[in-house]
Amino acid sequence: MIQFGKKIGFPSFEVFAVLSAMVSILIFWGMNFIFKSSDEMVWKVIFWNILMLFLFLFSIGLQQYERFFQGTFFTVNLICYSTTLLLIVMSKDFLIFYFWMIGSIIIACYIHPYLAAAFHLQHTITYCIINQYNLDQFVFYFLLGFVMIVVAGYMINLKYFAGGVAAVWIVNITLLLIARRFIVKYTEEDIFSLISGFFIMLIAFLIKKDSVNGQEEVSNRLISALVQPDHPLLVQFKKKSPSLYAHCVMVGELSEKAAQQIGADGALAKYGGFYHEIGRLKGNNYAVTTKESAIVMLSDSILASVQYLKENNRWEPSMAHKLVSEIMEMRFKNGTLDKSMLTLFDYKVLKEFYSKNILEDV
């Protein structure tokens, strides 16, 4: 049985479901009065929008992503959701270009791309219903927005920003060519659409950069204190199990180096490595939902395997590559890392890193 909002304080995502449904009804009824839309259209939009909303929130509950609606995330989600619906309603009589996608892009930068993609799907359906677009146009807007969401999550510096804008423009132009059966013909509206895409990516870049800088500053200060050898938790841990403490230090240091290879948070991975066994002492395991936690799990598994082989006089340096490959392949195949957001590129980089560095850290 799904227990929505379990262990979550107010406001929770059940509250978000109710408020967002009320916002939808108010905005679409406002469309009826302001833009003189037909009652049939208004009820159609309300029905599909609320149906998609609750199906989406139900899937969130199934996958236990309720944390996306806690604290500040709740406010960001509600504002982005409401703003997007307002822009979609306005698009019926005004040229909004791609700016109606901005809410999903902000969610991708500030919260999670999975949540942003789900919202974008719902909003694209609503946008196409209101503007009476066909299936081809739905696919066009959904794919373009999806690319923006994916790209937005990586724009942490100017190089990625420039690459992101180029990627969005290439996809935009390609989709336009496909829609027009490869007839090269551009209108003034197409140019303004490309410009709107640039500004959306600029907003995403500024949000992502500010978010990353702020998180890193707070995270580094906190983690720096937590990984000091004289921290009370580590002192207690060292007294209780010196060998396990030494293993955790090795996992933390290896995880920090590995995280830096794929652009993840090295300090956070180090902290995870230092403390990953403390929960196990109380019978709990840790969840793998981020790149950093995935790296800690891989570092732990690889180091533990090498230490076991060494203790039994079965370890040879030539085994490093095969051992790393088998452990990583097993973790990926059994689904342990499905929610970690590790990409195939990350997998290849980490595999090469562990194969080369495992001999130095053990």
Say how far apart CA 38 and CA 31 lie, in whole Å: 9
Say how far apart CA 42 and CA 126 lie, in whole Å: 11
HEC letters along the chain? CCCCCCCCCCCCHHHHHHHHHHHHHHHHHHHHHHCCCCHHHHHHHHHHHHHHHHHHHHHHHHCCCHHHHCHHHHHHHHHHHHHHHHHHHHCCCCCCCCHHHHHHHHHHHHCCHHHHHHHHHHHHHHHHHHCCCCHHHHHHHHHHHHHHHHHHCCCCCHHHHHHHHHHHHHHHHHHHHHHCCCCCCCCHHHHHHHHHHHHHHHHHHHHHHHHHHHHHHHHHHHHHHHCCCCCHHHHHHHHHCHHHHHHHHHHHHHHHHHHHHCCCCHHHHHHHHHHCCHHHHCCCCCCCCCHHHHHHHHHHHHHHHHHHHHHCCCCCHHHHHHHHHHHHHHHHHCCCCCCCCCCHHHHHHHHHHHHHHHHHHC
Supply the pTM of this predicted model: 0.60
- What residue spans define the domains of the chain? 13-213, 228-361
Say how far apart CA 234 and CA 241 lie, in whole Å: 10
Say how far apart CA 158 and CA 161 lie, in whole Å: 5
| Sequential pLDDT tens for the chain (362 residues) | 333 333 334 456 678 878 888 888 888 777 767 766 666 777 777 787 788 777 777 776 656 666 778 778 888 889 999 999 999 988 888 888 899 999 999 998 888 888 899 899 989 998 998 888 999 999 999 999 999 999 987 887 888 899 999 999 999 999 999 988 888 888 888 999 999 999 999 999 888 877 666 555 555 666 676 667 777 777 777 787 888 888 888 888 898 888 888 878 788 888 888 877 776 555 556 668 888 888 988 988 888 888 888 888 888 888 888 888 888 888 888 888 877 778 778 888 898 898 888 766 55
Contacts of residue 318, Cβ cutoff 8 Å, sequence gap at least 6: none
pLDDT of residue 162: 92
Contacts of residue 181, Cβ cutoff 8 Å, sequence gap at least 6: none
Handedness of CA 214, 219, 225, 229 (dihedral sign): negative
pLDDT of residue 201: 93
pLDDT of residue 1: 31
pLDDT of residue 148: 94
- 223 within 8 A of 267, measured Cβ to Cβ: yes
